[in-house]
Amino acid sequence: MPLYTSSFSRKVPDDGLAKKLLLSLVAGAFIVVLAENIARLKGLEPNVRDSAGLWASQRELASDLGGGAVIIVGSSRSQLGIDLEVINRELEKIPVQLSVDGSPFLEVLENLAEDGDVAGSILVSAPIEKMFNKQERGKAGKWIDFYKSEFRGLWQPKIEEILKANLMSFSALYSSIVPPDLWPEILLGNRSIGANYLITKTNRGRDADYTKVKMPMFYLQRGLRHFGRSVENNRFTSVSDFEKKVVAEVLKERNMLSISADDVSRLRNALQKLTDRGVKVTLINFPKSGIVEKIDDIRYPKSTWIQAKKKLSISPLVTFIDYRDYENLDFECPDGSHIDVSQKSQFTHELLNVLIKEGAV
């Protein structure tokens, strides 16, 4: 006989709640997928938002990889012009993209120079005007501060940034910066979103598709921005008329630029620290064309590049690459300043051929 009896009877679980929960999850997933597809049909694309955290994750990678890294430093020209996958495939090294759009490269290079874990090769987009000591503190300086105070040596923020970047690269909804109050009109109405010509990837590589912008207006706006001010009698009958008037204005301001060792002492010091521990550094003058090239050829003629080269040639580990010296690097830039995504892989391949020949990587 049983030693005890019990009036307790175990109830069979009601699976109704489980079914409702499952149905809710399926419905929610369906709505998200539907909204994602509608958003893409309206012109949105997955696009990783560049940020201090994403940059810091790559900065940490530069230290972790040591000699296995090819580090890219600069601004938008090096971020749009260098194909990271081509570097990885042809050099069998891991590229690290540390370029910061709109910021001088000097602060980043100095930060790398102070880090004994940084090794390998560094490719620097180094236009003449960015070599001088007096550079305004830009976004790059703030991102370096963030890296030092909030990121360096910590695993949690690194994992968080990797997860966020991968989700943004997958979802147009998650990566979008469209204001929330516009979403109903976009998803349910006739409103569409203009195509984004700039796409950022999880590794901070960036593509520019200039077929998605209105030319020649985009080219003219870029030219005026590079010129730095409005043109007298700001009316143009054609692109060539615009270029002639801008060139005439630039010629009025022409001053023969002379570069002394003191002018570039910050850059010299950074190069010295890096090369003293065996790091190869290449200073690159990236391709330009059209009005941007015409402006810079007046303001910073070839002679200024030669002067800078003389002042900064402190070691055989420092290499100088000027696109004007290599026919295979003289690519057309649709906006005058940047390489189109359709030419990016080929340009990177040609650049690597030059770097290998020069022993720079």
Domain ranges of the chain: 52-357
Q: For residue 309, which phi and psi values (nearest 5 degrees)?
A: -60, -40
pLDDT at 38 over 80: no
pLDDT at 72 over 80: yes
Q: Which residues of 4-18 are buried (b: 16+ CB within 10 A; e: fewer)?
A: eeeeeeeeeeeeeee
d(CA 75, CA 126): 9
- Quote the pLDDT of residue 166: 81
Work out the average pLDDT over 59-79.
Answer: 96
Contacts of 67 (CB under 8 A, 6+ apart): 119, 120
pLDDT at 235 over 80: no
- Quote the pLDDT of residue 314: 95
- Quote the pLDDT of residue 31: 60
Of 155-169, 228-242, 288-302, the range with the highest mean pLDDT is 288-302
Q: What is the pTM of this model?
A: 0.85
- Quote the pLDDT of residue 11: 55
- Quote the pLDDT of residue 154: 80
- Quote the pLDDT of residue 116: 95
- Quote the pLDDT of residue 135: 79
Which residue do the tokens 């979008």 mark?
A: 176
- Quote the pLDDT of residue 87: 98
Confidence band (pLDDT; 50, 70, 90) for 288? very high
Tell which phi-psi region holds residue 230, choosing left (phi > 0), alpha (psi between -120 and 50) or beta: beta
Confidence band (pLDDT; 50, 70, 90) for 26? confident
Helix locations, 253-301, DSSP H: 265-276, 290-299
pLDDT at 35 over 70: no
